[in-house]
Amino acid sequence: MTYQLVIFDFDGTLADSFPFFLGVLSTLADAHGFKRFNRDELEALRGSDAQQVIRHAGLPAWKIPAVARHFRTLMSESIDRIHLFDGVGQMLHRLAGRGMQLAVVTSNSIDNVKAVLGPENARLIAHYECGVSLFGKRSKLRRLLKATGLRPGQALCIGDELRDMDAAHAESIDFGAVGWGYTKAETLTARRPKLVFARVEEIADALLGTRSVAGNEMLR
């Protein structure tokens, strides 16, 4: 397979921010008046899509932008606690070194994204679409294709949530699911993404032809 553009989600895909999210979830719930989750509920909801999580929390749609802004602010205040998953920097360098265009589409802020990436990695990203609304990724993917002049079949979207997959498929873009993020691996694989990655290094291996990672390969 040959892709010219690789579009990454950020939280749970490049950045290991889920522990931080869990740590501030009660703060967000109390500040914005939605339900607190216990550990068992949180684990069960990792098998749900974003709409199901929002309904379970009793979070009105009109409050979502404020919650997202608050989360970004809390992260910016503790940005030193957020790190890339092991191997992400090397993976980005391998892809960029072979001429692939790299993009990040995320609901997080560009300041947070660049701070966690660090200057060397941030320079490898040709396109940033940050501060995206919870269900607004589809239009940003369409805009990326227009900006690059590429066809959907020349791009791959990589992420860890069902909404990422839905947005990619809505624009006829192949999706690569990662098994280390917010959503359970088995939930993602059940939706039959084009590719499945169990480890960060598999991304560059698969896209550069070092090894094949099939869409129906189970995450280990």
DSSP per position, 36-58: ---HHHHHHHTTS-HHHHHHHHT
Q: Is the pLDDT of residue 214 over 70?
A: no
Separation CA 128–CA 131 (nearest Å): 10
Predicted confidence at residue 46, as pLDDT, reads 84
pTM listed for this prediction: 0.91
Separation CA 28–CA 157 (nearest Å): 29
Mean pLDDT throughout 134-163?
95
Predicted confidence at residue 207, as pLDDT, reads 96
Of 31-45, 118-132, 161-175, 180-194, minimum mean pLDDT range: 31-45
Predicted confidence at residue 51, as pLDDT, reads 83
Where helices occur in 79-127 by DSSP H, the ranges are: 88-97, 110-117, 119-122
Q: Where does the pLDDT of residue 218 fall: very low under 50, low under 70, confident under 90, or very high at 90 and above?
A: very low
* Average pLDDT in the chain: 92
Of 58-62, 75-79, 197-201, 216-220, minimum mean pLDDT range: 216-220
Predicted confidence at residue 124, as pLDDT, reads 98
SS3 199: coil
Mean pLDDT throughout 107-126?
97
Predicted confidence at residue 206, as pLDDT, reads 95
Please identify which residue in the block is written with the tokens 């006829």.
Answer: 172
Q: Which amino acid is residue 154, in one-letter code?
A: Q
Give the angle subtended at the CA of 59 by the CAs of 54 and 60, to the nearest 5°.
110
Separation CA 59–CA 5 (nearest Å): 35
The class (CATH top level) of 5-16+84-207 is alpha beta
Separation CA 173–CA 214 (nearest Å): 16
Predicted confidence at residue 45, as pLDDT, reads 80
Q: For the chain, what percentages of helix, strand and coil (3-state, to nearest 5) are there?
A: 50, 15, 40
Separation CA 140–CA 130 (nearest Å): 9
Residue 139, C-beta contacts closer than 8 angstroms, at least 6 positions apart = none
Residue 199, C-beta contacts closer than 8 angstroms, at least 6 positions apart = 87, 180
Q: Which amino acid is residue 209, in one-letter code?
A: G
Predicted confidence at residue 1, as pLDDT, reads 57
Predicted confidence at residue 194, as pLDDT, reads 96
Contact, 74 vs 24, CB < 8 A? yes
Q: Is the pLDDT of residue 211 over 70?
A: no
Predicted confidence at residue 56, as pLDDT, reads 85
pLDDT tens string 4-28: 999 999 999 999 999 999 899 999 9
Backbone angles phi, psi at 102, to 5 degrees: -115, 140
Q: Is the pLDDT of residue 43 over 90?
A: no
Separation CA 195–CA 178 (nearest Å): 9
Domain with CATH 3.40.50.1000 in the chain: 5-16+84-207
pLDDT tens string 81-107: 999 999 999 999 999 999 999 999 999
